[in-house]
Amino acid sequence: MSTPAHETSTHKTVVRLRGIGKRFPGVVANDDVNIDVAGGTVHAIVGENGAGKSTLMKILYGVQKPDSGTIEVNGAQVDLASPADAIRAGVGMVFQHFMLADNLTVLENVTLGAEKLHGIGSGARARILEISDAYGLDIRPDVLVEKLGVGARQRVEILKVLYRGAKILILDEPTAVLVPREVDELFANLRELKAEGLAVIFISHKLDEVLSVADQVTVIRRGTTVDTVTPASVTARQLAELMVGSELPSPSTETSTVTDEVLLAVERLSLPTDEGRALLDDVSFEIHRGEVLGIAGVEGNGQAELVEAIMGMRPGVTGVIRLADRDISGLTTRDRRDAGVGYIPEDRHRHGLLLDAPLWENRVLGHQTRPPSVKGVFIDKRSSRADTERIIEQYDVRTPGPDTLARALSGGNQQKLIVGREMSGEPILLIAAHPTRGVDVGAQGAIWQHIKDARRNGLAVLLISADLDELIGLSDRIEVILRGQLVGEFDPGEVTPEQLGSAMTGAREKA
Amino acid sequence: MSRTASVRDRLASVRPRGRISPWWILIGLAGVLLLLSLLQLVTGANDLASSGTLRATLIATVPIALAGLGGLWAERAGVVNIGLEGMMILGTYGAGFFGYHYGPWVGVLGAAALGAVGGLIHALATVVFGVDHIISGVAINIIAIGATQYLAVQTFTGLPGGGQTQSPKLGDVGSISIGPLSEALGQVEGRNIFFVSEVAAFLRALVTDLSLMVVLAAVLFVLTYFLLWRTAFGLRLRSCGESPVAAETLGVNVYRYKFIAVLTSGALAGLAGGFLTLVASSNYRDGQTGGRGYIGLAAMIFGNWRPTGLLMGSGLFGYTETLGLRQGGDSVHALLLGIAVLLAAVAVWQWRSRQRLSAGVSTFLAIGIAIVYFSIDVVPGDFTRMTPYVTTLLVLAMASQRLRMPAADGMRYRRGTAG
Amino acid sequence: MTPRMTKLSLGIGAPVLALVSAFVITSLVLLVAGDPVGEVWSTILSVPETRNVANIINSATVLYLSGLAVAVGFKMNLFNIGVDGQYRIAAFAAAAVAGEAWLPGYLNTLLALLAAILVGAAWAGIAGLLRATRGVSEVISTIMLNFISTSLVAYMLRRVAVREEGSNIIATKQVPERSRIPGLSLSGEAGTEIYGFVFIAILCGVGYWLVLNRTRFGFDLRATGQSETAAVASGINVKRMVLASMLVSGGLAGLVGMPILFGGAYSYGSTFQSGLGFAGIAIALLGRNHPIGIALGALLFAFLDEQSNPLQILVDVSPDIVKITQGIIVLTVVISYEVVRRYGLRLEQRHVAQALERPESKSPEVPA
C-alpha cells in the first residue's frame, strides 16, 4: 500500500461542524449539531428514524443549506450551495437510494458528468481499475449495472465519488439493503479507505455493525448531538439508550380490552427474494379481538412487506393468513377487504387517496362493493356524500365539504378521512401503517383516540410504526421486526428503552 | 510499480462490451440468404432473392431505417416520438418544394430542415411544456398532414407536371455504379448456382445504381453509432433516457440533451421522407409515406433500440413490403413455408427454455401457417400488404417483455426531482 | 367569486385560451404562405345556411362518437389510436349484416348495430389483451391494427361486395329501406336532413357519463386511470380493467360509422369516409373527456370542416388550412389546460384555507 501523498494524515480533523441548525415548517430537523471528523477514520452517526441524520448529511453534501452554524473542511470554512461545491471540497456522498442507470455499464455510470477527467475510453477504464485495486472494490468496468447485486452497486457508487477525487465519503445507511456477507465486504473496503487516509462518515442505526467498524460514534437524537463516544468505551445497550432516550413514554392506563378470540392468525409468512435475502422470514403471530399489536422496528426490515402480504398486494408470499377462522391466503385484495380488512396505508398519496377526486369519491375508494357507496352496480352518490359528511363530522376533518378535492386538504385531515373511511367498513382487522406520519400534532392525538375506540369496540389492530410514543401509547403488545423476522415480544408497560432499542437494532446482549 | 503492471494486464484482458459485433451481422445475412436460396429451390418461387428484389428491398428499407433511426435518437434521450410519421411527411414536402426550385440536394437539406421543424414543435411541447409525449406526437401528425396538403395546393398547382396533390418531377440525386463488377456479378447470378447466385445478387444490388442517398443513410447510421456510444455527448444523451434523475445529480443538463435529440430525430425522419420523394419515386405526392414512420418505430423496438438491430428490423420490413409488391402472391406464399419452419424452430427453443405456453402458441401458429401454405397457391394482395404490420404485432407480442427500452422513456421529466 | 363560478370560468378559460392561440398561430401560417388572413376567417366564420347547419350536425354526430370512444380510453390512461381501424372494420361488418337482411325492418338494424359494437370491441380487444398480458404498448399495437384493418376490410369487401350500377365503386349490399334510420329535416328543403342517429349519439353521451360517474365499473376505471397504485390497494384488478376499457372503447368506436351507414350511404364501400379516428383524439382532448365538452368540440371541428369547404372557390385557399388549426388545437389545449389547472389548484388551496379561517398551514412532514 502506498502512503498517502497528501497532508491529511490520520487524526487530523478534516470536517468540523459547529452549531448546525435547520428547520422545516413545523419541525426542527437539526439543532446545534457539533461534530469533528478526523482523517483516516470511520466516523459513525447513529440515531433513530427522524432524528435528523439524513438532513445533516444533505447539508454536508450541499443539497440543503443550514439555517445556522458553520462547516469547515480541511480547516477552511466552506459554503456548500450545491453538490458541485461539495465535490469540489472533496466531499462525496453515496445516497441510500442509488443513483445508477441500470442499462449503462459501470464505466458509463462512473464517467457520466465527469468525462473531462479521464475521457470515456481506455483512460477512464484504467483509472477505474486503479481505484478498484487500490481499495479492493473488485469492480469490472464493462458490466451492465443491472447485472450487479446490491453490494456491487454500492461499491460502484463509492467508486463514483472516489473517481471524482473525494477524500471525505458520506455513506447514508449503507447496510440497510445488504446481507451479512456483503456487509463484511463493505467494512473491509471501508478499512482500506481509512488506511489510505480518507475519512468515512457512516450513517446508520444498526448498532452492532457500527460498533464493529467505527472509530468514533456520534449519537443524534431529536436533531441534536447527544454525545460522541469511542466503541471501545461503550456497550450496545448504552448506545441504544443514548439513541432512544432514558425514558420511554408511559403506556395508557385504560383497562385492557383484549379477549381470547383470535381474529388474525398469521402462520409462517415468508417472502423470499432472488438474491437470497428474505424480505419476510417465517413470520407468525396472532391478534385477538380488542387487541392492538404494535410492530416496532427500524424502517426497511420487512414492515411494508408484511402489510402488503396481508393485504394481498404482493405476489410470491407463502404461508397462511386466517381472518377469524377464515383462510384468506388465496383471496384477492378486494375479497380480503370485503372479508373485513381495513387498511390505513403508509403512503396515503400513493395508496390511500385519489388526490384529484372529491372527498365523497375517496370515501368510495376501497369500499366499492358495499353500501353506502354502492347500490347494486351503481355508485350511490347521495349516500356516499351523506356518509362522507358523517365522517367529516365524527372525525373532525377540516374541510369546506365533501366535494372538496382530496389534494386541497392538509396531510392530517387527509389521514383523518382515511381513518374514518376504513373504520366505517366495520372491519374485523384494522391495519394501520405509520398512521400519524406527516400529520400535525392535533390530528395525531385524534387518530390515536380513534384507534383506542376501535380497540374498545372489538377490533383487532395491527399497528406498524417507527414512533415509539405511538407504539407504547397504543399497543397492548409489541413485537419487534428485524430483517424480516420477529425477534422479540415485549409488554409496553414494562419494556425498557435499552431492550427495545437493542432488539430494534440487533445489538447483541453483552455479558 | 507492481500495481500499474497489474492494471495494464487487467486492461489487456478487458474488452469494451461489444454490442452485436459486425461479424454477427454478416453471419446473419448469410444465414438469411441461405434460407431464401433453400426456399427458392423448394418452392420454385424465383424472385425471392434476385438482384431486382434485393435492390427494391434496399430502396424500401432506407426510409424505414432512417425513420427508425430518428425514433432511436429521441427515445434514447427519453422522449417517445410518435410524430415520426408527421415529420416524415413534412420531409416529403420539403424535398418536393426545395428540390424543385433549387435542385435535388437542396431538396435533401430541405427535407431534413422541415423534419427538424416538426421535431422542434415536439421538443417544445414535451421538454418545455411537459406535454404528454404521445399526445404531442399525434398532434404533430395531424398538423403535418394538414400543413403539407395545404402547402402542396398553394405551391404546386400551376407548375408543369404539378398539381394539387403532387409536385413536378424532381431531379435525381445521383448514384454510383461499379460497372464491370456489376456485369460480372450479373453473370454469376444468371448461372443459378445454389446460394452463390444469391450472394452475387445481393452484392450486385449494392454496386449497381446505388443512390447517393443510400450512401448518406449508411454514413448516418455509422455516425449515430459512434456519436451515441463512443463520445461523452452520446453518454450524456443516453443517460437522459436511462436515468435523468441520476444524470441531473451529476451535472448533466437534461433539458438540453432531450431538445437536441428530438431535433435530430425530426431531421432524420425528414430525411426519410426526402428519400421517398427523391429516390423511391420522382416527385412529391400526398400520402407518400404510407405509415412508414410507424413501421420505423416498430423496427426500432424490434432492434431493441440499437442501430444494428434497427437495421435488421428495417430490412425485414422492407423485404416483406417489396415481396408484396413484386410478383406478390407467389413470393409471399413461398415465404409462408419459411415462416412456418422458423416458428417451429422457435417453438422447440421455447419448449427447451421451459416456456411451455409460448411453445404451444408457436407450434399452433406454425401448424396453422403450414396448413395455409399448402391449401392456397397464392396469397391475396391484401394480405401481403399486411405483412409489415402483422410482423410488428407478432414481434412485439413475443418480445415485449424481453426487450429493453431506455428506462426513462416516455417519462415527463421535470428538473429538480432529484435528491 | 363562488367556487362554482370559479370552477366554471376556469373550465371555460382553458379551451378559450387554447382556441385563441390556435387561431393566432393559424393566421401566422396563412401570413407566411401569403394568403389573405382576413378573408379566410370571414369565410370560415360566416353564418352557415341551413344546409350547412345540417351537414355540421351530421359531421358532429359522427365525430362525437369518435371522441367518446377515445375518451373512454383516456380515462384509463390508455391511448386508443385505433379508433380509425375499429370503426371501419365495424362499419363493414354492420353493412354486410344489414345488407343480408336476415331479420326484417328495424330488427335488422339492431342486429347490425350489435355486430358493429362487437366487432369494434373485439378489434380493440386485441390491443387490450396484448397490453394486459404481454405489456405491449397499445399505442403501437392499435396503429398496426389500423393498417391491418384497412387491408382486411379491402379483402373482405372484394369477396362480398356488389358493384354499384354504372360506377366503379364496390360496396356491400344496400341496407334495405325498412332498416334505414330516417332523418329529420330542419327546414323542409332538400339537403337539410340530419341523421336520425343523432339521438342515439346523444344517448351514448348520456350513457358514457352515467357509466363512468355512477357505476362501480366506471369508478374502478377512473380510479385506475388516476392512480394505479391506489387502485391496486383498493382491490381493483388492473389487468382486467385494461382489457375491459379497451373493449368498451372499441365498442363505442364501432358505432362511429353507423350514422353514415344508416342515414346516408346505406352501404359500406371503398369511398366510405375515413380518418374519423384521429379527429376523435383531438376532440376528446379538447372536450377534456367530458361528454358535453366533447360535443362542443365535435361541433367546433365539424363547423371548421364545413365552413372551410368553399375556401378554394371563394378565396383560392386550400381547405386543408383548418386541418392545421385542428392539429394545433390539440397542442394548445393540452398546454393551456395544464397552465389553468395549476392556477386553479392554487386558488382552491387558498380558498380552503380561507374557509377554515386559519392561515395556510402546512403539515409538518417528518424529515427522513
Assign 3-class secondary structure to chain B.
CHHHHHHHHHHHHCCCCCCCCHHHHHHHHHHHHHHHHHHHHHHCCCCCCCHHHHHHHHHHHHHHHHHHHHHHHHHHCCCCCCCHHHHHHHHHHHHHHHHHHHCHHHHHHHHHHHHHHHHHHHHHHHHHCCCCHHHHHHHHHHHHHHHHHHHHHHHHCCCCCCCCCECCCCCCCCEECCHHHHHHHHHHHHCCCCCHHHHHHHHHHHHCCEEHHHHHHHHHHHHHHHHHHHCHHHHHHHHHHHCHHHHHHCCCCHHHHHHHHHHHHHHHHHHHHHHHHHHHCCCCECCCCCCHHHHHHHHHHHCCCCHHHHHHHHHHHHHHHHHHHCCCHHHHHHHHHHHHHHHHHHHHHHHHCCCHHHHHHHHHHHHHHHHHHHHCCCCCHHHHHHHHHHHHHHHHHHHCCCCCCCCCCCCCCCCCCCC
Asked whether residue A326 carries a pLDDT value surpassing 50, the answer given is yes
Interface of A with C in 356-395 (CB under 8 A): 356-357, 361, 364-366, 368-369, 374, 377-379, 381
**Which of A243-247, B282-286, C49-53 ranks highest by mean pLDDT?**
B282-286
User: pLDDT tens-digit profile of A441-482?
Assistant: 777 888 888 888 888 888 999 999 877 778 888 899 999 988
Asked whether residue B12 carries a pLDDT value surpassing 50, the answer given is no
CA C209 – CA C291 distance, rounded (Å): 7
Domain boundary among A213, A244, A275: A244
Taking CA atoms, A424 is separated from A390, A397, A459, B254, in Å, by 10, 15, 12, 47
Asked whether residue C243 carries a pLDDT value surpassing 90, the answer given is yes
Nearest CA among C156, C139, C134, C128 for reference residue C82: C139
CATH code, domain carrying B252: 1.10.3470
- Taking one residue from A and the other from C, the number of pairs with CB-CB distance under 8 angstroms is 124
DSSP state for residue A193 in the 8-state scheme: H
A9 — pLDDT class (breaks 50, 70, 90): very low
One domain for residues A267 and A366: no
| CB–CB contact B407 A84 (8 Å) | no
Q: Which residues of B touch C285 (CB under 8 A)?
A: 135
Please classify residue A367 by burial: count the beta carbons closer than 10 Å to its beta carbon, then call 0-12 exposed, 13-18 middle and 19+ buried.
buried
Other beta carbons within 10 Å of B216: 18
Residue of B nearest to C330 (CA): B139
Looking at this protein, which amino acid is placed at residue A363? R
Task: Determine, yes or no, domain membership for A192.
Answer: yes
For the ranges A158-162, A469-473, B80-84, B115-119, the lowest mean pLDDT is seen at: A469-473
**Full residue range of the structural domain in which residue B174 is found:** 45-305
Ramachandran region of residue A197, left (φ > 0), alpha (ψ -120 to 50) or beta?
Answer: left
Nearest CA among C47, C49, C23 for reference residue C321: C23
A132 touches chain C (CB under 8 A): no
Interface of B with C in 246-275 (CB under 8 A): none
One domain for residues A415 and A298: no
Q: Which residues of A touch B6 (CB under 8 A)?
A: 133
Task: Determine, yes or no, domain membership for A159.
Answer: yes
- Per-residue pLDDT, averaged over B145-156, amounts to 87
- Per-residue pLDDT, averaged over C345-356, amounts to 71
**Which of A157-166, B31-40, B361-370, C25-34 ranks highest by mean pLDDT?**
A157-166
- Taking one residue from A and the other from B, the number of pairs with CB-CB distance under 8 angstroms is 85
Q: What is the pLDDT of residue A293?
A: 93
Of residues C290 and A7, more confidently modeled? C290
Task: Determine, yes or no, domain membership for B185.
Answer: yes
Per-residue buried b or exposed e for A251-274, using 16+ beta carbons within 10 Å of the residue's own CB: bbeeeebbeeebbbbbeebbbeee
| CB–CB contact C230 A399 (8 Å) | no
| CB–CB contact B235 A112 (8 Å) | yes
Q: Which of C151, C282, C320 sits opposite B149 (nearest CB)?
A: C320
Q: What is the pLDDT of residue B185?
A: 78
CA A174 – CA A96 distance, rounded (Å): 6
Task: Determine, yes or no, domain membership for B178.
Answer: yes
User: pLDDT tens-digit profile of C1-59?
Assistant: 566 777 777 777 877 888 888 889 888 888 887 888 888 888 888 888 888 888 899 99
C-alpha cell belonging to residue A305: 412487506
Task: Determine, yes or no, domain membership for B288.
Answer: yes
Residue of C nearest to A27 (CA): C364
Task: Determine, yes or no, domain membership for B68.
Answer: yes
CA C177 – CA C184 distance, rounded (Å): 16
Q: Which of A112, A114, A142 sits opposite B239 (nearest CB)?
A: A112
Task: Determine, yes or no, domain membership for A209.
Answer: yes
Mean pLDDT of chain A: 84
- Give the CA-trace dihedral at C8, C14, C17, C19, to 10 degrees: -100
Nearest CA among B311, B287, B25, B360 for reference residue B141: B287
User: pLDDT tens-digit profile of C75-100?
Assistant: 998 999 999 999 999 999 998 888 88
CATH code, domain carrying A465: 3.40.50.300
Report domain C56-303's class: mainly alpha
Q: Which residues of C touch A352 (CB under 8 A)?
A: 230, 233
Which of B76, B233, B243, B402 is best to mutate for the A interface (most A CBs within 10 A)? B243
Residue of C nearest to B399 (CA): C134
C2 touches chain A (CB under 8 A): no
Work out the percent of chain A whose per-residue pLDDT is above 70.
92
One domain for residues A316 and A174: no
Task: Please give the full DSSP string across C168-181, using - where no structure is assigned.
Answer: S-EEPPPPPGGGSP
One domain for residues A49 and A31: yes
Domain boundaries, chain C: 56-303
- Per-residue pLDDT, averaged over C55-79, amounts to 93
Domain boundary among A244, A276, A304: A244
| CB–CB contact A378 C368 (8 Å) | no
Calculate the CA C39 to chain-centre distance: 30
Which of A93, A106, A129, A170 is best to mutate for the B interface (most B CBs within 10 A)? A129
Q: How many domains does chain A have?
A: 3
According to DSSP, the β-strands at A76-77 and A68-73 are antiparallel
User: pLDDT tens-digit profile of A23-75?
Assistant: 876 567 788 888 899 889 999 998 776 677 878 888 888 878 888 888 988 88
pTM over 0.90: no
**Full residue range of the structural domain in which residue A292 is found:** 249-340+429-435+459-495
B401 — pLDDT class (breaks 50, 70, 90): low
One domain for residues A267 and A396: no
Q: Which of B138, B298, B386 sits opposite C281 (nearest CB)?
A: B138
**The A216-221 sheet, strands edge to edge:** A91-94, A168-172, A199-204, A42-46, A216-221, A224-229
User: pLDDT tens-digit profile of A339-398?
Assistant: 999 999 988 888 999 988 999 999 999 888 887 788 888 888 888 899 999 999 888 888
Task: Determine, yes or no, domain membership for A445.
Answer: no
- Give the CA-trace dihedral at A327, A329, A331, A335, to 10 degrees: 60
Of residues B259 and C46, more confidently modeled? B259
Residue A342, H or E segment: strand A341-344
User: pLDDT tens-digit profile of A82-118?
Assistant: 777 888 888 988 887 788 998 899 999 999 988 888 8
Task: Determine, yes or no, domain membership for A2.
Answer: no
Domain boundary among A426, A449, A473: A426
For the ranges B65-74, B123-132, C171-180, the lowest mean pLDDT is seen at: C171-180
Find the helix packing angle between C50-75 and C197-214, rounded to 10°.
30
One domain for residues A307 and A420: no
Which of A328, A347, A348, A368 is best to mutate for the C interface (most C CBs within 10 A)? A368
